[in-house]
Structure 1
Amino acid sequence: MPLRFADISVATPTKDSLAARYQAIDALLDRGSRAEAVAAWDTVRREYDSWSALVGLRFQQDTADVAAKEARDYCDALSPDATGLEVAVKRRLLADADRAGLEQLVGAHAIRLWETDVTTFDPVIAKDLEEEAKLGARYTEILSAAKLEIDGQAVNLAGIEPFAQALDRETRHRAERVRWAFFEAHGAELDEIYDKLVKLRHAMALKLGYDSYIPLGYRRMRRVDYDAADVARYRDQVAEHVVPLIARVMEARRRENGWDRIRFWDESLTDSAGNPVPAGDHDFLVAQAQTMFDNMDKRLGDFYRLMNEGGFLDLKNREAKAGGGFCTSFPTHGVPFIFANFNGTDHDIKVFVHEMGHAFQNWESRHQPGIDYLWPTMEAAEINSMGLEFLSHPQMELMVGADAADRFRRMHLIDSLAFLPYGVCVDHFQHEIYARPDMTTDERHAVWHSLERRYMPWTDYGDIAYCEKGGRWQAKRHIYSLPFYYIDYTLALCCAMQFWVKSRRDYRRSLEAYIALCARGGSASFQDLVRSAGLVSPFAPGALAEVVSEAEKVLAA
């Protein structure tokens, strides 16, 4: 009988139950039964991660649900204990003199990951980790509770998006004023939360022997084959190759529309005829997606059918539901879950296909031998999500209609390229902040404002004063809850767009390379996975040159 989401149930662990299970693992290691101990440990980790994912998902689905909030608080409090037990086993295994035997049992890459993981935790920071989770949850609650009034309607932050992309310029302007009035009203608390997070993370880094949070942040992201210097050079590539292209695109948009200057609220209107939108509602898109994935590949079609029929999709926007989109998984059961907020814009298609890419990768790699290999590190994982966005291009007639498909493909290309400067701006901002954790609130806003001038010189906020003074970064959840994650989207996009270039020459070969990459899961490091798919590392000189050259040809057509 096919698995259904409603059937997924994982027992709630306690400190005592976790301690008892880890004592049993230690006993197996004491007896020399390493293979049996590693298998038992893998089972414990799968069960814990499934429970944690389920708790987190239920809170995101309804942030106003008291029981869901209490469960999340309990999970946040238990997490440092679980991490401590997990790290202790990693340390013990890494201390084993039979390194060759351990590598044969779990794989060389798992060992590299564990060597990174053990440098990120010590019981001395357990309470700090719990506080970090609480602060991140508070940020989510503030944004999820947003109630915005526009044109006689009450909407949340996801619901404002159709107004922000309206064909009417004044409606877009009004939407952005409403959006940023909310952030201005909550700005003091958002600044306070971030100040606490920055100082808390810096203090954790010092306790663990680092001189700042930056190296600790990289290690928490399990980055084993590149460092902050590599990322800085990549940001320079974006500034050199992509920023001038987007500046030209923005100027062309200004001329096409007859505006005296392009404003911030004009940036979201990629198509002068109006951004192409889905050709139907939620139910239409869900149904059309089945045909789309069936057309692309039987493996994709069969998997999507399992997800849809099993109830592993939550795509409708509703009150008190957390914003954004994500894919989570339950490694005890092998089937992932997609969460999104449809709002009637092109965003619905892009986010849905993006998260489907994550889900498909997790499904394809479910037979990897250990839990460390079920997901790649985040920058590699985002190749799977963004790659599917581009590989779905030939099917867009199904989603937006035949008349709008070419316009959608062009819009997606432009939006993807325009994202790169914003994405590296977010990353550069975080490097500056954590290098100087004692900055004042005003100094942080000034840093953002300065970096915008480098990476997005075309942005003109007009009378939206809160953005003009450097407050735009407060809307980015990753800056609060997932430090140093955001660059991963841009690194992956550099690779995903290479799939796009290749698919324009040999679609089937490109799709097969993509599916093979998904099946490798997290069995290798980022750059090794990139090379295995026949792609060029974003850190290689000129990595963006071919993509930009191909994009210029398409956009000039």
Structure 2
Amino acid sequence: MQGKLPKRNEVEKELTWRLEDIYENEDKWEAEVNEALQISERIAKYNGKLSENAKNLLDALKLYEKADLLSSRFYGYAHMRHDEDTANSKYNGMNQRAISVNVHIGEKASFIEPEILAISDELLSSFYKEEPELKKYENRIREIRRLKYHILSKELEQLIASTGEMGRTPYNGFNMLSDADLKFPTVKDKDGNDVILSNGRFVPVQMSKDRELRKKAFEAFYGRYEEFKNTWAALYDGEVKTRIFNSKARKYNSNFEAAVDENNVDPAVCDRLIDSIHNGFDKMHRYVALRKKLLGVDELHMYDVYVSMINDFDMEVSYDEAKELSLKALAPLGDEYLRIVKEAYENRWIDVVENEGKRSGAYSSGAYGVHPYMLLNYNNTLEDVFTLVHEMGHSIHTWYSEHEQSLWNADYKIFVAEVASTTNEVLLYHYLKDNAKSKEEKAYIINHFLESFKSTMYRQTMFEEFERKTNEMAEKGQPLTAESLSDVYYNLNKEYFGENMISDPQIAYEWCRIPHFYYNFYVYQYATSFAASVSIAGKILKEGNSAVEEYKSFLKSGCTQDPVSLLKIAGVDLTTAAPIEDALKVFDEAISEMEELFK
């Protein structure tokens, strides 16, 4: 955590992803961008002709799918190159161009959905008989027609499509300010050494045993965000207003209703989550009290949230060690699953370490027909091991889905996107706990699980409440200012953490740094997925191969059913509160297990 970050060209090659698997040279990138533009012109020639005969509909969809395939490649390549070093003007330009071309394709193809909606059920049925190849697109067509009430005329759909690039401005502005322009101060540790802060290094610093360093870093880090609070508020306000425009245009009652309907999820699923979490505040507050006790502090502050409750034990895990641990922990998923994991390690699917200008955080991305990629900012902590298996879960979900499904059928909904990643995390937790070599190591692992549970089930639900409250404020005409946003966030923080936590004033500005607030109600799905994953991992460890096969069937299913039905394949029913409540019981049991270790 000390010293300067390496420049991109100073990072060891084996620790970088091999994007040449997409394009061996960038002339091919340029060629596919131009090919996609040409295809978009061919698509436009079918405007007004889709209902004339089955062949027109089939040909238009095949062209649109081809354009989407090219887009997954040229956009995937450009955005990952951009994320390697967000200050690199060449790749920033390529990324912006890729986005512009996608918007252009969307405009040219914007007639397709309204025309598909205008086809009668009887005519569509005859089209399937006339051109059996149309069955390949049946799922896509069904999804379009499900949203019939919210699809507009061809002219208005074209207008909406043309706003796509403009609508990304708040998120793009957030990324550039957060990753490229925002510079953090240097703070001193207890020995007087300089510690350089960054988005990627903040949490590892907050995990330090040096409490004074944590305090100084916390105040300096959020102090820098506070300096730009009005800019963050303007960006977030722009994001919410973009949603309001789109949800009103599509005749939804609220931004939230529009977001969950796009995923084909009943809003009651999210309502049940929030209600269940509120009913489980006693468990969260019990955890906070345990943290205060084990840390031995008179006052528990927000800069005490990430440090291990086990003061006399620590785990530093190199990247090579993390890879070995992942293979052992994921062994219950079978040889085929492990083979794919090994391929990811051996063939440079992963960009491992932080460098100057690199995008913060972690993700799984890629291009259809190539293989998934993972971005990490690995810092040798136990948390980084969990992040590795988390992103690996995303990637292998994508691998299975893309190997079993066509491009459009492989594109699983966001609602199920966090299940595979979190299942991997739960399996890693059980492996590490069961193989702990001492009481201290076992306690350290349980501590991590408790922290992960708190961060996922409680924190993400708190994020969801913040997003819902602030969107509702804007929908009622209330201004989203730095002060109003910070007040909402601060009060939620106090409610979730309870009386044993001092909610330091700087925490009011945490909302400024959360990129997921620009993902249009993404975050609640972390919590529902975590609950589903606790259940799935438990079944795999208890039932073995039969549960693994059910789980792999889910991974291979893409978006061929609605998300809640897909989870039922893996044995999880989110039409009830049971998965959330069962997960809360596991959290409570882990707290009891920790208390027992330190009686």
With structure 2 as the length reference, what TM-score do the two structures score? 0.82
Answer yes or no: is 1:135 the counterpart of 2:170.
yes
Unpaired runs of at least 5, structure 1: none
In the aligned structure 1, how far is the partner of 2:415 from the partner of 2:422?
Answer: 11
Answer yes or no: is 1:349 the counterpart of 2:388.
no
Once the two structures are superposed, what CA deviation does each residue of 1:70-92 show, in whole Å capped at 9, x if it has no partner?
11222233333222344432333
Answer yes or no: is 1:234 the counterpart of 2:270.
no
Answer yes or no: is 1:48 the counterpart of 2:86.
no
The residue number in structure 1 matching 2:375 is: 339
What is the number of residues matched between the two proteins? Answer: 544
C-alpha contact (below 8 Å) 1:237/1:544 kept by paired residues? yes
In the aligned structure 1, how far is the partner of 2:343 from the partner of 2:423?
Answer: 21
Answer yes or no: is 1:60 the counterpart of 2:60.
no
Q: Structure 1 runs of 4+ off > 6 angstroms?
A: 24-29, 397-404
The residue number in structure 1 matching 2:221 is: 179
The residue number in structure 2 matching 1:476 is: 514
Q: Displacement, 1:338?
A: 0.7
Give, as a single letter, the amino acid of the residue that structure 2 aligns with 1:113. Answer: E
The residue number in structure 2 matching 1:88 is: 111
The residue number in structure 1 matching 2:489 is: 448
Give, as a single letter, the amino acid of the residue that structure 1 aligns with 2:533. Answer: A
In the aligned structure 2, how far is the partner of 1:491 from the partner of 1:203?
Answer: 28
Which structure has the larger Rg? Answer: 2
Counterpart selection for 1:549 from 571, 581, 585: 585
The residue number in structure 2 matching 1:383 is: 419
In the aligned structure 2, how far is the partner of 1:403 from the partner of 1:38?
Answer: 60
The residue number in structure 1 matching 2:10 is: none
Answer yes or no: is 1:201 the counterpart of 2:243.
yes
In the aligned structure 2, how far is the partner of 1:473 from the partner of 1:510?
Answer: 39
Q: Displacement, 1:286?
A: 3.8
**Is 153-162 or 61-70 further displaced after alignment?**
153-162
Once the two structures are superposed, what CA deviation does each residue of 1:200-221 show, in whole Å capped at 9, x if it has no partner?
33233333444543333334xx
Counterpart selection for 1:6 from 17, 20, 41: 20
Answer yes or no: is 1:519 the counterpart of 2:556.
yes
Counterpart selection for 1:424 from 461, 464, 467: 461
With structure 1 as the length reference, what TM-score do the two structures score? 0.88
C-alpha contact (below 8 Å) 1:494/1:543 kept by paired residues? yes
Counterpart selection for 1:32 from 54, 68, 75: 54
Counterpart selection for 2:99 from 68, 71, 76: 76
Q: Aligned with 1:341: secondary structure?
A: coil
Once the two structures are superposed, what CA deviation does each residue of 1:477-529 show, in whole Å capped at 9, x if it has no partner?
011x2120111111111101112333453344443333222112222111101
The residue correspondences of 1:46-445 to structure 2 (distance < 5 A) are: 46-97=69-120, 98-100=123-125, 102=128, 105-106=135-136, 109-115=139-145, 119=150, 122-145=157-180, 146-148=182-184, 149-151=186-188, 152-219=194-261, 222-227=262-267, 229-241=268-280, 243-273=281-311, 276-280=314-318, 282-286=319-323, 289-290=326-327, 293=330, 296-331=333-368, 333-396=369-432, 406-407=442-443, 409-419=445-455, 420-437=457-474, 438-441=478-481, 442-445=483-486
Once the two structures are superposed, what CA deviation does each residue of 1:48-68 show, in whole Å capped at 9, x if it has no partner?
122212211111111001011
Q: In 2 relative to 1, CA 52–144 (structure 1 residues): closer, same or farther, beyond 3 Å?
A: same
The residue number in structure 1 matching 2:8 is: none
Q: In 2 relative to 1, CA 459–257 (structure 1 residues): closer, same or farther, beyond 3 Å?
A: closer
C-alpha contact (below 8 Å) 1:327/1:359 kept by paired residues? yes
C-alpha contact (below 8 Å) 2:412/2:559 kept by paired residues? yes
Unpaired runs of at least 5, structure 2: 1-16, 24-28, 189-193, 594-599
Q: Displacement, 1:406?
A: 3.0
Q: Displacement, 1:35?
A: 4.4
Q: Displacement, 1:450?
A: 2.7
Q: Displacement, 1:112?
A: 4.1
In the aligned structure 2, how far is the partner of 1:398 from the partner of 1:68?
Answer: 45
Q: Displacement, 1:400?
A: 9.2
Q: In 2 relative to 1, CA 254–120 (structure 1 residues): closer, same or farther, beyond 3 Å?
A: farther
**Is 397-406 or 209-218 further displaced after alignment?**
397-406
In the aligned structure 2, how far is the partner of 1:237 from the partner of 1:318?
Answer: 41
Counterpart selection for 2:530 from 485, 489, 493: 493
